[in-house]
Amino acid sequence: MENKNVEYRNIGLIDYKEAWDYQENLFDEIVAIKERNRKAEVKEPSHNYLIFCEHPHVYTIGKSGKEENLLISEEFLASKGAKLYKINRGGDITYHGPGQVVGYPILDLDNFGVSIKNYIDGIEEVIIRTLKHYNIAATRSSGATGVWLDAENPMLARKICAIGVRTSHWVSMHGFAFNVNTNLDYFNYIVPCGIQGKAVTSLQKELGKPVDIAEVHELLKAEFKEVFKMNF
């Protein structure tokens, strides 16, 4: 039973671990429904969620990540008011902080008929389309997940959105980190996503002015609806 209805929740500025636990609870809820449906004659629709939030300064390292890509000591990390978590998504190290839109789609991918690759491609497409509203041409970069500007030019290539997901039982969690009004100085302390020599950027930096986060939320929601044929 396909259910393309998605519950949108903006949970605001929230500690990373608290948001991770929040995701896990929703993830477990969807998996439990799918497990019950395996044995039930009458199937119940599984749920889908799209969570937007911001985090206080934090670095996260995915399953394939390397600690040496954090370029500072834990003492210096603490002095900058940042935390470090090793987590169960794909990808290497990335940064989250205020002014960044962090999106956690907790979806039963069976409802949307997509492969994991197509799901990640879809998230990239959502960000690319959102940036078009600001007259910014963004693309994918061959062999590097996420959304980039000037990806074809090694001297100018810069990443504006990181993507790292986890799926199990065909249910997704974790998601994307879109630099809007992000303090990019915090990226100087890591090798972002484990890729040497690549710069990062933000919507604010590209436009030369701060951007209304609420406006970005609405544009992202509209593009998620279009790309994945969701109903909010």
* Under 8 Å between Cβ of 97 and 57: yes
β 83-86/93-96 pair status:
unpaired
pLDDT for 169: 92
Q: Which residues, including other chains, have CB under 8 Å from residue 29's CB and lie 6 or more apart?
A: 47
pLDDT for 194: 45
Helix (H) or strand (E) run with residue 202 in it: none
The residue assigned the tokens 């020599």 is: 197
Tell me which residue of 107, 98, 136 sits closest to 46, measured CA to CA: 107
CA-to-CA distance for 212 and 195, rounded, in angstroms? 30
Tell me which residue of 49, 225, 63 sits closest to 129, measured CA to CA: 225
* Under 8 Å between Cβ of 140 and 148: yes
How many CA atoms lie less than 13 Å away from 69 in the CB half-sphere? 22
Q: Which domains does the chain have, with CATH numbers?
A: 7-225 (3.30.930.10)
Q: What is the pLDDT along the chain (232 residues), one digit of tens a residue?
A: 689 999 999 999 999 999 999 999 999 999 999 999 988 888 899 999 999 999 999 988 876 666 666 776 777 777 878 888 777 776 667 889 999 999 999 999 999 999 999 999 999 999 999 999 999 999 998 878 899 999 888 889 999 999 989 899 999 999 999 999 999 988 888 765 545 556 899 999 999 999 999 999 999 999 999 999 999 9
What residues are labeled active site? 193
CA-to-CA distance for 29 and 26, rounded, in angstroms? 5
The residue assigned the tokens 């636990």 is: 21
Tell me which residue of 201, 199, 182, 202 sits closest to 191, measured CA to CA: 199
DSSP conformation class of 156: T
